[in-house]
Amino acid sequence: MRQSFRGMIYLALLVTFVACNAPPVPLDDIVVEKTFVPEKCERAVKSGDFVRYHYNGMFPDGKKFDSSYDRGSTYNVYVGKKQLIEGMDKALVGMCVNERRLVKIPPALAYGKNGYGDVIPPDAILHFDVLLLDVWNSEDTVQSQTYYKPEKCTRTVQVSDFIRYHYNGTLLDGTLFDSSHTRMRTYDTYVGIGWLIAGMDQGLLGMCVGEKRLITLPPSLGYGENGDGSDIPGQASLVFDVVLLDLHNPKDSISVEGQVVPENCTRKSQETDFMRYHYNGTLLDGTLFDSSYSRNRTYDTYIGKGYVIAGMDQGLLGVCIGERRRITIPPHLAYGEEGTGTKIPGSAVLVFDIHVIDFHNPLDSVQITSSFKPDACSPLSKKGDFVKCHYNASLMDGTHISSTHTFGKTYDVVLGAGQLVPGMEIGLKDMCVGEKRTLVIPPHLGYGERGVDGEVPGSAVLVFDIEMISMEEGLPDGYMFIWNSDVTPDLFTEMDKNKDEKVEPSEFSDYILRQVNEGKGRLAPGFDANKIIDNMFSNQDRNSDGQITADEFKLKADEAPSHDEL
């Protein structure tokens, strides 16, 4: 009885041992557990697709028998073409990039009764922890997805165009392999002539400046079976997130877009004209690189003479004063492949929004337009006349400079006495009282290159609206005093009031002023009478002793023509 009992205990222990170490119950089919599924799945694996994936291969007890991670390389293979064990062919179908699956494969769908060498024993159940990194098909082409497009798109990329763009380059699983942003420099290239991998040559076509696009390339249109030897593995799909910044063709000329053209345009700019204009300079994507407005000063230059970049020399021709236009200049007419400074990159298309303030030619004279002339327009002003006038002064763009009306008094000048800029001298001649004129004065007859600080910019064309209020006839050229009647032969005696045979300054001054008051003589109008008389006395006081003797005293008619005197 005891022996029988002991036998029963031994048998129970043996059954328990065998049960604990028995192989797992064979599976009829694969078991798939999705351990991670990405939120977005744009494409699932189908039979016939090529995939790249990482895996760990394990037995049910957790013992690892193989790993792509250990080899440092993904497993790359076609699905559904018997290049894999049957269970993996089934397990990979339907997977998304970045999806992770734990796959359990029965021996019948793995290595069966024979196993695989010393690695996989016969009738082994296999577990694979799989992470899908890439999927493509030999029939795939370039896929382009635009996720931002500007409202205005006047031009798109064509074959042989030169473009500048930024990009982030990633593998299909999102791994970054390159970025122009990190280099802080655009990628600059021709399109469609073999300078790029084939897929990019195709994917960039049709883009607008400012457009943002995802371009997905199969390896056959990327770096193929071998990759790039560095960051791009063989047989890898590539994704480029591209923003196009610039676009031109070597055959391009400048483009001119009129924005505001004045209704009244009496003159258009020509070669050798000197121009003052404001501008904002931007790259084709809108990035500002320069502005005359920020300096609060126009850009002043000759046009058509090589003083500015070739494209601007062309774009500034044929404009009107007050016109606003947009000039788009390809790099071969701007700063070329090298660019300039830190703000204009090489091969950049430039856009200038300009506002023409004024222009003139060094050969220009004063432009005189009479807007009103009295029926009886006489006498006409001439050199030496003392005139009083009202004026409004402005720049060619209408900017107000000054006005006599503001001060409530006329502008009083002697013509030909150097009291005016040359252009005003010209414009006020041969004018009658009551006449109204508009004078357009070029800077070389105005205030020149320097202008007037705080009032008139350098090289500015001036516009004066003038009305002559009064005019007093001047004296003959070279005279500051004339007699209105015959001169008494006792002139010296009449001046010598105290009869000491010397004329003192007070005697001289009193006598001249008396002649003027009695209408017997005239002083040049518009000048200080006392200064004229002092000058006349100095001319007569030849030995400069402060008095005039009879021997010194002479009339102008008796003098050589170098003195302004009696």
Residues in the chain: 566
Task: Note if 65 is an active site residue.
Answer: yes
Copy the structure tokens of residue 156: 């798109």
**How many angstroms from the chain centroid is the CA of residue 209?**
15
* C-beta of residue 238 within 8 angstroms of C-beta of residue 277: no
Q: Which residues of 20-36 are buried (b: 16+ CB within 10 A; e: fewer)?
A: eeeeeeebeebebeeee
Q: Is 122 exposed, middle or buried (0-12, 13-18, 19+ CB in 10 A)?
A: exposed
Q: Is 74 exposed, middle or buried (0-12, 13-18, 19+ CB in 10 A)?
A: buried
Residue written as token pair 């192989």: 23
- Alpha carbons 376 and 545: distance in angstroms, whole number: 52
- Alpha carbons 151 and 159: distance in angstroms, whole number: 23
DSSP single-letter state for residue 320: P
**How many angstroms from the chain centroid is the CA of residue 51?**
48
Q: Are strands 411-414 and 386-395 parallel, antiparallel or unpaired?
A: antiparallel
* C-beta of residue 263 within 8 angstroms of C-beta of residue 80: no
- Alpha carbons 481 and 235: distance in angstroms, whole number: 106
Catalytic residue among 53, 105, 125, 128: 128
Task: Note if 197 is an active site residue.
Answer: no
* C-beta of residue 337 within 8 angstroms of C-beta of residue 305: no
Q: Is the Cα dihedral 5, 11, 12, 17 positive or negative?
A: positive
Going by C-alpha positions, the residue among 101, 53, 37, 42 that lies closest to residue 239 is 42
Reduced to 3 states (helix: H, G, I; strand: E, B; else coil), residue 92 is helix
Most distant pair of Cα atoms in the chain: their distance: 186
Catalytic residue among 50, 111, 223, 508: 111
* C-beta of residue 97 within 8 angstroms of C-beta of residue 133: yes
Show the 3-state SS of 369-384: EEEECCCCCCCCCCCC
Task: Note if 162 is an active site residue.
Answer: no
Copy the structure tokens of residue 15: 């059954």
Catalytic residue among 49, 50, 53, 85: 85
Degrees, nearest 5: CA angle 150-156-157? 130
Task: Note if 511 is an active site residue.
Answer: no
- Alpha carbons 356 and 323: distance in angstroms, whole number: 6
Question: Which residue type sits at 527?
Answer: F
Degrees, nearest 5: CA angle 219-225-227? 75
Task: Note if 167 is an active site residue.
Answer: no
Task: Note if 464 is an active site residue.
Answer: no
Catalytic residues: 55, 65-66, 85, 111, 128
